[in-house]
Structure 1
Amino acid sequence: MEKVVKPRTRPGKRFLENREPKLIENDKRTLFIRGANANNNVLQALKDFAALKKPNAVFFNRKNEMKPIEDSSKLEFFCQKNDASLFMFGSHNKKRPNNLVAGRMFDHHILDMFELGMEDFQPLKDFKTAKIAYSTKPMLLFTEGFEGTPELQRIKNFFIDFFRGPIVEYVNLQGLEHLIAFSVVNNKILLRSYRVTVNKSSSKTHGVELEEIGPHMNFVIRRTKLASEDLFKRACKKPKELKPKKKKNIQKDVFGSTHGRVHMERQDYNRLQTRKLKGLKKRKSEIMEQTKNEPNVKKMKMEESH
């Protein structure tokens, strides 16, 4: 049984209320943990990822002895204490060199966990180029190959969750200056980070150039710990209050335009009033026939009433 913490002060009460479930959740925080035997490459990789995730990043610079794949209780405690739903743990040993364990939480428990081996690593500081502004929302590009296996599908979903940042309604085109590309080559996941520059031209379409800024690395999937389909669906479930209410006879097309359908009663076009033009005037013969038929109709109604 989990211990129920009751606040004793008003600030403590506000602190606990801020951690309670909400209809619109806060931006996801990421916890970066340094292992007891992490080398310089692993430590630098953790710092580079933390720089991309700022300000929603918490970095543990002290050495922590743990094995997340075998026992995740200590990791779950750290994530719950720091209100972090994403995590990344770095370690290094002879059996698994340059090891990164990344994953996410649901209801303070492990949802997905991926053990990735890092190869061909080049940190941010090795690229002598202009860097991206602080807390820039990146664009994500995934090439073909991530739909091959369930592990690749789930790791693609994890990277989208890891790098997507805050949800925005409007996008400034000048702010689209960071691109993170993922590709699958020979069962390895290649991660590349680019700076996007737009060059003005006389034509309507401008030229776009990509300049690699780091970090640069390749991942080898070593071990995974995936959630079941039922648990994953429950984690992705949206509250009923946030689902848009359906309106009758109103639809939206692919481009977001709203189309409505109006239902009207059947009309008698013979009695429709039009413009009084000479060509549309009734002839005397038509008027005579119409007046002859009207008394017959009245007689029929009188007989039915009797």
Structure 2
Amino acid sequence: MSQIKTPQKGRVRRVIQKRAPKLVENGKKTLILHGTRTSDVLNAVLSEIYHLKKDDSVKYSRRNDNIRPFESGGETSLEYFSLKTDCSLFVFGSHTKKRPNNLVMGRTYDHHIYDLVELGVENFKSMKSFSYDRKLAPQIGSKPFIAFIGEGFESVEELKHLKEVLLDLFRGEVVSNLNIAGLDRVYVCMALSSNKVFFTHCALRLKKSGTVVPRMELVEVGPSMDLLVRRHRLPDESLRKETMKKAPELIQKKVKNVSQDAIQGKVGRIYIPDQQVGEKTLPNKAKGVKRERREAKMKVEAKRQKQDSTIPSDP
């Protein structure tokens, strides 16, 4: 039997503890890979995605001949790189005659393929092709807005799946509070048809509006492209349920008669039972009770004396 050896060095121990499961997981990292053959357009797309996610992404520039995510056995190398870099998201680019400028986005669960979306890149415009004031350039690592425009993101299965993947890819780390001054970018996704989406990246310009909330203007800074949905693979229902499980420590127990209101905040209900005053037992006897007893005793004695006086005596 093989023995499990515990790490002796502190650095290795810290790395293993960092990758261990946590109640609140860290932000997801993205792995960017090249296929056997890539075009100039696809190389630019992968480079600019890496630039947009520079803080939480890993990019490999070497060609990978044996990565085919949609084929059985072709995901082994991809899962190995995911485990090696501790990445939960991946973007894989390849270029063939049948599928030119092919971009595969997906997620992993426990470093195994969870779901996949295959996209074709058309009408690509890089960041360098846009002219704007460089003071408006978004800061690296800032929290973005993500706008999905079109009914297709709610009705078409392929676009609903693409929406989930894009949200995980570009939203960054999940936070509870935001400062408006730190919001300087927005990703716009517009559904052009049932299988085509326009994607662009814009900077936010804040202007005075006469109120507390400033007026926002969008300035396109790139990249911009059309994404054509080719193939997608959803996870199994059992696997989806397993990934949605929450630790018992994170599940908040419902408090009785307490609800949350958007305007009033925390609202509670108080139930007061009917008060049975007559059946209530007093801790101390009232003084008037003794007086009533004395008066009743005196009445009984007076009645008895009266009865004795009316009885005639023997001759």
Provide TM-score, normalisation by structure 2.
Answer: 0.80
Q: 1:151 Cα shift? A: 2.4
Aligned partner of 2:138 in structure 1 is 132
In 2, the alpha carbon distance for the partners of 1:201 and 1:115 equals 42
In 2, the alpha carbon distance for the partners of 1:234 and 1:151 equals 22
Aligned partner of 2:52 in structure 1 is 52
In 1, the alpha carbon distance for the partners of 2:212 and 2:15 equals 52
Amino acid across the alignment from 1:67: R
Could you list the runs of 5+ residues in structure 2 that have no partner in the other structure? 278-291, 297-315
In 1, the alpha carbon distance for the partners of 2:110 and 2:213 equals 47
SS in 1 for 2:41: helix
> Does the 8 Å contact 1:196/1:210 carry over to 2?
yes
Larger Rg: 2
Aligned length: 274
Aligned partner of 1:37 in structure 2 is 37
In 2, the alpha carbon distance for the partners of 1:16 and 1:188 equals 42
> Does the 8 Å contact 2:152/2:160 carry over to 1?
no
Output one character per residue of 1:157-181: Cα deviation in whole Å (capped at 9) or x when no partner: 1111111111222111111221101
> Does the 8 Å contact 1:145/1:183 carry over to 2?
no
1:212 equivalent in alignment to 2:213: no
SS in 2 for 1:79: helix
Aligned partner of 2:70 in structure 1 is 69
Q: Among 114, 125, 148, which residue is 1:142 paired with?
A: 148
Aligned partner of 2:92 in structure 1 is 89
Could you list the runs of 5+ residues in structure 1 that have no partner in the other structure? 270-294, 300-306
Output one character per residue of 1:232-269: Cα deviation in whole Å (capped at 9) or x when no partner: 12212222211222222211023470001122243589
> Does the 8 Å contact 2:118/2:232 carry over to 1?
yes
SS in 1 for 2:98: coil
1:178 equivalent in alignment to 2:181: no
> Does the 8 Å contact 2:105/2:165 carry over to 1?
no
Q: 1:82 Cα shift? A: 0.5
Q: 1:149 Cα shift? A: 2.7
> Does the 8 Å contact 1:53/1:135 carry over to 2?
yes
Structure-2 change in CA distance of 1:203 and 1:255 (3 Å): closer
Amino acid across the alignment from 1:240: P
Amino acid across the alignment from 2:161: R
SS in 2 for 1:167: coil
SS in 1 for 2:120: strand
In 2, the alpha carbon distance for the partners of 1:228 and 1:216 equals 33
Aligned partner of 2:257 in structure 1 is 249
In 2, the alpha carbon distance for the partners of 1:84 and 1:204 equals 40
Structure-2 change in CA distance of 1:254 and 1:233 (3 Å): farther
> Does the 8 Å contact 2:158/2:229 carry over to 1?
no
Q: 1:34 Cα shift? A: 1.6
Provide TM-score, normalisation by structure 1.
Answer: 0.82
Q: 1:202 Cα shift? A: 4.1
> Does the 8 Å contact 1:250/1:258 carry over to 2?
yes
Structure-2 change in CA distance of 1:6 and 1:125 (3 Å): farther
Structure-2 change in CA distance of 1:75 and 1:203 (3 Å): closer
